[in-house]
């Protein structure tokens, strides 16, 4: 296995595509999470279903878990290294939120709250429908920036995304693994290549935690350190050398599928990347805003896709007492593509939560956490025919018919012979 891409222009501007803001809405109407600010006088909400949850079979997985008396995400903690989670959002927080360099205690950027909501947002009140994929999971909130494009000047009132902040954030997660049992670390970020960050991610893997990261949105904003050729789709392109940490060892790289989007061409949204492991749809996903309102994520974005995959992993971890590496293999082996022939756009395919939860798997080797998991093939069989209670009767009838027919045939053959004997007699 091998980041928002949250408009982190201070680091890698060429990798980022921010969703288009939706038109303004009246109180109680649907709005894009990105455009809702704390100062906005309008109160928003949405009762529309979260389309990606339906696309990935999350609702069906919930039904199966309910039958087993399991709450999706219960007992699982997911670390979210991002812009912070708003205290007003209905998302359970594990421990104390970590300040890894930010200057504003309460988040001012929506991205971290939206990501955490996709993973573990509570169900909307009054029958409003699901939000997070694993709503009983808890979020370990690691805030590493206030505003991705903030000034780096000492007198700046907000903190930008910096490599130092990321290092401190990862150190906080490493320290919390033993006490909080963290097994999933969501890093929906685009970062420069950094040996220290690479080493800290390797350390998390050794501790039994997997980092989930995006493989890159296609940008029209300029090249940055990404070649300008990636601004538009090119035959044979591969963004793997430029997208970090998705290209690091033992990182689950996630792309996005355009399901629910008005533009069905995935190349319009994402770059081809050979380190893509799986993909997930994000257009039409429901999350929470900085003020705790339900809102929507209107466009495909790999940062939200990574959050959805983190949510499905949390769901699996609540169902199975297994290393997270085994849960990762469940995702890979049950995605709707080919894990043995991954593609640069979707890897093994789009994540299928119900299949990952229910399809039989068997481990091989002494260390299932080392990726030694094999898919147990499903045997396709025709439905069994109902028991035929008259079979023995028909069997006997056939034999008696054969016997009777034989006697009749014998009589027909012998009749001329017997008739000649009577005449000669």
- Whether pLDDT at 16 is above 80: no
Of the given ranges (187-201, 211-225, 297-311), which has the lowest mean pLDDT?
Answer: 211-225
pLDDT > 80? residue 418: no
The pLDDT, as a whole number, for residue 373 is 28
Highest mean pLDDT among 5-14, 52-61, 374-383: 52-61
Question: Hey, what are 81's tokens?
Answer: 């290294």
Mean pLDDT of 382-410: 53
Band (300; pLDDT cuts 50, 70, 90) = confident
Instruction: Pick the range with the lowest mean pLDDT from 44-53, 101-110, 257-266, 371-380.
Output: 371-380
Q: 276 CB contacts (<8 Å, ≥6 apart)?
A: 2, 215, 246, 253, 254, 255, 342, 343, 344, 345, 346, 347
> Which two structure tokens, joined as six digits, stand for 93?
């927080």
Burial class (CB in 10 A: 0-12, 13-18, 19+), 422: exposed
Percent of the chain with pLDDT over 90: 53
Which of 189-198, 263-272, 354-363, 413-422 shows the highest mean pLDDT?
189-198
Please report the pLDDT score of residue 92 as a whole number: 98
Phi, psi of 374 (to 5 degrees): -115, 145
Per-residue confidence (pLDDT) for residue 379, from 0 to 100: 27
Q: How far apart are the first and last CA of the chain?
A: 101
Instruction: Report angle CA 211, 215, 221 to the nearest 5 degrees.
Output: 130
pLDDT score recorded for residue 7: 36
Find the mean pLDDT for residues 230-240.
Answer: 83
Whole-number pLDDT of residue 388: 44
Q: Which of 146-160, 239-253, 264-278, 319-333 has the lowest mean pLDDT?
A: 146-160
pLDDT at 36: 87
More confident residue, 81 or 408: 81
pLDDT band at 105 (very low <50, low <70, confident <90, very high): confident
- Which has the higher per-residue pLDDT, 404 or 303? 303
Distances (CA, A) of 234 to 163, 221, 229: 30, 17, 7
Residue 1 pLDDT level (bands cut at 50, 70, 90): low
Assessment of whether the complete model's pTM goes beyond 0.85: no
Q: For residue 280, is pLDDT > 90?
A: yes
Work out the angle at residue 100's Cα, subtended by the Cα atoms of residues 249 and 200, and round it to the nearest 5 degrees: 20
For residue 196, the Cα-to-chain-centroid distance in whole angstroms is 27
Taking the C-alpha atoms of residue 91 and residue 77, their distance in angstroms, rounded to an integer, is 12
For the cut 50, the answer to whether the pLDDT of residue 194 exceeds it is yes
- Does the pLDDT at position 190 exceed 70? yes
Q: What pLDDT is attached to residue 374?
A: 31
Whole-angstrom CA distances from 304 to 3, 270, 395 are 10, 13, 65
pLDDT in tens, 323-379: 999 999 999 999 999 888 999 999 999 999 999 999 987 654 443 333 332 322 322
Top-confidence residue, 148 or 131:
131
Q: Is the pLDDT of residue 417 over 60?
A: no
Residues 224-246, mean pLDDT to the nearest whole number: 82
Rounded to the nearest integer, the mean pLDDT of the chain is 80
Q: What pLDDT score does 264 carry?
A: 66
Q: Kind and range of the H or E element at 58?
A: helix 58-67
- Asked whether the predicted pLDDT for residue 296 surpasses 70, the reply is yes
389, two tokens: 């209670």
């Amino acid at each position: 296995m091998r980041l928002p891409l949250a408009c982190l222009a201070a680091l890698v501007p060429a990798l980022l595509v921010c969703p288009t803001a939706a038109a303004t809405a009246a109180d109680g109407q649907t709005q894009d999470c990105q455009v809702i600010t704390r100062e906005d006088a309008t109160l928003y909400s949405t009762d529309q279903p979260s389309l990606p949850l339906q696309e990935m079979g999350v609702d069906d997985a919930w039904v199966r878990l309910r039958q087993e008396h399991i709450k999706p995400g219960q007992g699982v903690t997911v670390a979210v290294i991002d812009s912070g989670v708003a205290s007003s959002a209905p998302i359970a927080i594990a421990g104390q939120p970590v300040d890894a360099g930010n200057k504003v205690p309460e988040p001012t950027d929506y991205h971290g709250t939206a990501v955490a909501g996709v993973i573990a947002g509570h169900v909307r009140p009054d029958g409003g429908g699901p939000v997070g994929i694993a709503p009983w999971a808890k979020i370990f909130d690691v805030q590493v920036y206030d505003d991705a494009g903030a000034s780096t000047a000492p007198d700046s009132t907000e903190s930008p995304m910096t490599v130092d902040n990321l290092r401190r954030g990862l150190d906080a997660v490493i320290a919390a693994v033993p006490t909080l049992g963290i097994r999933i670390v969501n890093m929906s970020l685009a970062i420069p290549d950094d040996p220290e960050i690479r080493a800290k991610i390797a350390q998390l893997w050794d501790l039994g935690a997997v980092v989930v990261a995006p493989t890159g949105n296609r940008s029209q904003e300029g090249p940055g350190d990404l070649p300008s050729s990636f601004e538009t789709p090119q035959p044979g392109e591969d963004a793997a050398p430029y997208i970090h940490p998705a290209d690091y060892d033992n990182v689950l790289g996630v792309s996005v599928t355009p399901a629910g989007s008005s533009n069905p061409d995935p190349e319009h949204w994402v770059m081809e990347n050979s380190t893509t492991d799986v993909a997930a749809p994000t257009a039409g996903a429901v999350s929470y805003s900085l003020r705790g309102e339900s809102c929507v994520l209107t466009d495909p974005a790999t940062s939200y896709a990574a959050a959805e995959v983190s949510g499905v992993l949390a769901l699996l971890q609540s169902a199975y007492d297994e290393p997270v590496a085994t849960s990762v293999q469940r995702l890979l082996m049950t995605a709707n593509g080919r894990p043995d022939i991954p593609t640069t756009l979707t890897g093994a395919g789009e994540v299928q939560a119900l299949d990952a939860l229910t399809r039989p798997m068997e481990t091989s080797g002494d260390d299932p956490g080392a990726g030694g998991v094999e898919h147990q093939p499903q045997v396709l069989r025709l439905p069994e025919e109902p028991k035929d209670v008259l079979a023995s009767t028909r069997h006997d009838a056939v034999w008696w018919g054969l016997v009777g027919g034989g006697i009749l045939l014998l009589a027909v053959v012998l009749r001329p012979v017997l008739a000649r004997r009577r005449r000669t007699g």
